[in-house]
Structure 1
Amino acid sequence: MRNTRTLTRRAALTAATVTVALVLAACGNDSGSGHPGGHGSASSASSSTGADAAAAAHNTQDVSFAQGMVPHHQQALEMAELAADRASSAGVKGLASRIEKAQGPEIRTLGGWLTSWGEDVPTSSDSTTESMPGMDHSAGSAMPGMMDGSDMDDLDKASGTDFDTMFLTMMIDHHEGAVAMATTEKGKGLYGPATAMADSIISTQTEEIAEMKKLLGKS
């Protein structure tokens, strides 16, 4: 009897020990897997969300700049495309080509920003006489430097040296308008990539204005 009781007690103790060990192991595994996947993932997601919010921070001036610069650039491309067949000056053709290469990608970038902000993306430069909000120019006036339909028709009909002179004169005004818009964005915009683009526009187009004046013999 004594031996039987001893064996029974030993068996019970062994079973209890194994049960405790299994419970502790399970808890340890739950804690280990839960900690990196729980707190760590939440922290990472929070950091990612914060970074996205910071990158997307913008104000109404940024929206106005993008919505105004899209049609402004589109009209510059329309003018530049005419130069391939109508210009007689290699200098004018070279300038027009550079304008196309620079402003085409900028239009796509501006449109991407507007889409990410949930704003409308202008699709054409037909409304050349409409005033864009936030541009700091007099109410009712056109965006600075934009040509009207009559100007574009005249340029389309010109060729040779007449085209060169008309193109350069119009593009100087157009560039000066873009510089004015970019200057406003640089001073009042919030979105970093937009103010950086504005700075680039000011630098590049100011240099091109000087180049065009030389081609016109005005320097």
Structure 2
Amino acid sequence: MPKLIPVSLLALGLFTVTFAVNLQAPLYDAYAAESDVGATAVTVAFAAYVGGLMPTLLLLGGLSDRIGRRIPIALALILGAVATALLVQVPSWTSLVIARFLLGIGTGLATTAGTAYMTEILGADRAKNAALIVTSATSLGFGGGALATGISLGVQGPTLLPASYIVLFIAAPILAALAFGLPRIDKPRPVSLLRLPVFPSGTWMFGAAMALAWSTTGMTIAVVPLELAAN
């Protein structure tokens, strides 16, 4: 199989996983209204994503080394679809919290497996290219989900089932199935599932800057839609 095919499929899978993460952002005000909660509660729901992401990164960081790269990526895609389906079936603040938690788990599974898998497909001598592809795919996904729902709502009008959700429901299972058709290059190893973070000397300022940027982005995504709806 030419490398272009697995690289493209893996990049598309990682894009779709992160596409689902902020897919529901333009509907935060609708979910808040269903449960009669305010901006603080919506911010808590947004933060539930971290509650799923961080434990997955720390406690299951070595999962893909033990069972292979394909299963975590496929599972992440399915979790994204399940989380979104929950919001369609039960649109509420509680569902938003659960959905964000599941999306955090999915992102943790996909990112730990995805970068390693892309490097294995392209080869260790092209590790920088692999990291660039993964970063580009996930960055476009994080922004693309909210944008797609915003456009869908603009075209369809108010709805709890925008076209962007339907696209995810179609794409995620297909990509999850295709993930098992990707070449198995890695060799499972009996490593520890626990992966503690490593902070190289002199990098704390970069971590602090990223944390502040992420916090600001989270507050903006959670609060601005509510303010726009109110005005």
The higher radius of gyration belongs to: 1
Q: Which TM class, normalised by the smaller chain length?
A: 0.3 to 0.5
TM-score, structure 2 length as denominator?
Answer: 0.37
TM-score, structure 1 length as denominator?
Answer: 0.38
